[in-house]
């Protein structure tokens, strides 16, 4: 089968409806206007949370979500070692101590047994102090949030869901973003995510105090005067994390298509699983009665150990066919910045990183495209004895 296209692990899907919505919005306020208010209301209603705050990126969302919790300097934060650096960076922005937890190789999410074991070993004094847990829903699959919630209550923690990759997923029939088991959830609106505004992030919560503080943190910490703008008062240090109204207009249009996007991603994932079952690979395992997957990533985890040389040959072979596999992420402890802070091995994270790839998955892929990808992936895997 011949091909004249390039396939990347992710891609945005923009149509004429999106373009028209953005164009119309340009006739009104460009920032902090009606599109922002409308977008936030629609998002909160869609995911079943009380409040939504839209910001300039998911990194900004993580940053001010932690800031809204008002944790003391050097408070402990716990998160997965297999995540994008923004998760841990946001903890450092807020002067928190980072404690990384390895993943389990069943679903590539944070190992909750290890998390609870660490919390059990804290001194009575440390157990009383407020802490933060950031479960990362890796690839679009939720962590067991009921168990996270139980741990939160037992060990006096806040829970901030890094749901950047999981918009459209659910746990126990509740949408990720409803915050049923957490204090705050954060989504990303980057171009390769479930829906996009170009760049952007969403913060969802059911906590009114957090919501009110987040609104101030988004815009310099300024409390606006109802009478005169020159009497606006900066009550504490905030940031300029505002999102534009034309981005929100795009978000409104994209949100209306989210359900369809997730259905298509799940169909592609089902096709991949059927076509690739002859290979020695693992997929993310999950109980379909409890979880629904957003499939930001479709992950293939090879059983055999893959050398650096074989990895390079495999990826280069597929690149020549126009197939660009993802390889997210370099585990946090392996980044040069974090190596200076964390001197520890994370066996499962390292194994996952060496032996896993993300296949192209986005709504505009055709059946013919997917067949071409599978055909070449199977050939390459056998050619290099993977």
Q: What is the pLDDT of residue 225?
A: 84
In this structure, the answer to whether residues 213 and 348 fall within a common structural domain is no
**Of 195, 211, 244, residue with least CA distance to 49:** 211
Distance (Å, rounded) from C-alpha 81 to C-alpha 84? 9
Count: domains in the chain: 2
pLDDT of residue 226: 84
Give phi and psi for 64, each to the nearest 5: -80, -20
Query: Is the domain of 277 the same as that of 335?
Result: yes
**What is the reported pLDDT for 92?**
98
Residues 241 and 97 in one domain: yes
User: Residue 90 maps to which CATH number?
Assistant: 3.40.640.10
One domain, residues 75 and 194:
yes
Q: Which of 255, 274, 297 is the last residue of a domain?
A: 255
Residues 243 and 304 both lie in one domain: no
Helix (H, G, I), strand (E, B) or coil at 274: helix
Give burial (CB, 10 Å; 0-12/13-18/19+) of 300: buried
Backbone angles phi, psi at 299, to 5 degrees: -100, 130
Is residue 93 domain-shared with residue 232, that is, in the same domain? Answer: yes
Identify the domain containing residue 196 by its residue range. Answer: 16-255
Write the CB contacts of 244 (distance below 8 Å, at least 6 apart in sequence): 30, 31
pLDDT the model gives residue 230: 87
The whole-number pLDDT of residue 2 equals 66
Question: Which of 212, 228, 255 is the C-terminal boundary of a domain?
Answer: 255
The reply to whether 7 falls in a domain is no
pTM for the predicted model, two decimal places: 0.97
Domain boundary among 202, 233, 255: 255
What is the model's pLDDT at position 1? 63
Residues 225 and 270 both lie in one domain: no
Please, what are the averages of pLDDT over each run of 10 residues along the chain (386 residues)? Answer: 86 97 95 96 98 98 98 98 98 98 98 98 95 98 98 98 98 98 98 98 98 97 87 93 98 98 98 97 97 98 96 98 96 96 95 98 97 98 96
Q: 155 and 234 share a domain?
A: yes
277/198 same-domain check: no
Distances (CA, A) of 334 to 101, 148, 185, 206: 14, 26, 26, 36
Please name the residue that has the structure tokens 């060990």: 155
Q: Is residue 2 part of a domain?
A: no
What is the model's pLDDT at position 38?
98
In a domain, 249, yes or no: yes
227 and 361 part of one domain? no
């Amino acid at each position: 089968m011949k091909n004249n296209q390039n396939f990347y692990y992710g891609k945005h899907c923009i149509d004429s409806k999106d373009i028209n919505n953005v164009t119309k919005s340009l006739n009104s306020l460009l920032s902090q206007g009606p599109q922002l208010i409308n977008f936030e209301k629609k998002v909160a209603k869609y995911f079943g949370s009380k409040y939504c705050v839209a910001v300039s990126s998911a990194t900004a969302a993580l940053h001010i979500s932690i800031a809204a919790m008002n944790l003391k300097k050097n408070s402990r934060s716990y998160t997965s070692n297999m995540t994008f650096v923004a998760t841990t960076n946001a903890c450092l922005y807020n002067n928190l101590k980072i404690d990384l937890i390895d993943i389990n190789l069943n679903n590539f999410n944070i190992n909750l047994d290890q998390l609870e074991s660490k919390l059990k070993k804290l001194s009575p004094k440390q157990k009383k102090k407020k802490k933060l847990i950031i479960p990362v829903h890796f690839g679009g699959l939720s962590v067991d949030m009921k168990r996270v919630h139980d741990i939160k209550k037992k060990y006096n923690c806040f829970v901030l869901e890094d749901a950047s990759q999981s918009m459209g997923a659910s746990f126990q029939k509740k949408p990720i973003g409803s915050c049923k088991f957490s204090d705050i959830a954060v989504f990303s609106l980057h171009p390769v995510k479930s829906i996009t505004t170009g760049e952007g992030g969403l913060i969802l919560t059911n906590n009114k105090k957090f919501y009110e503080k987040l609104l101030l943190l988004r815009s310099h910490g300024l409390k606006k005067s109802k009478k005169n703008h020159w009497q606006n008062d900066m009550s504490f240090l905030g940031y300029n994390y505002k999102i534009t109204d034309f981005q929100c207009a795009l978000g409104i249009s994209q949100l209306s298509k989210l359900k369809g996007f997730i259905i298509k991603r799940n169909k592609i994932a089902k096709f991949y699983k059927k076509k690739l079952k002859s290979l020695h690979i693992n997929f993310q395992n999950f109980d379909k009665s409890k979880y629904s997957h957003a499939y930001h990533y479709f992950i293939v985890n090879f059983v055999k150990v893959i050398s650096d040389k074989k990895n390079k040959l495999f990826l280069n072979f597929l690149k020549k066919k126009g197939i660009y596999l993802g390889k997210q992420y370099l585990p946090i402890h392996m980044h040069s910045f974090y190596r200076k802070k964390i001197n520890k091995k994370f066996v499962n994270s390292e194994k996952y990183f060496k032996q896993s790839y993300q296949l192209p998955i986005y709504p505009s892929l055709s059946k013919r495209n997917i067949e071409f990808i599978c055909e070449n992936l199977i050939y390459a895997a056998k050619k290099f004895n993977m």
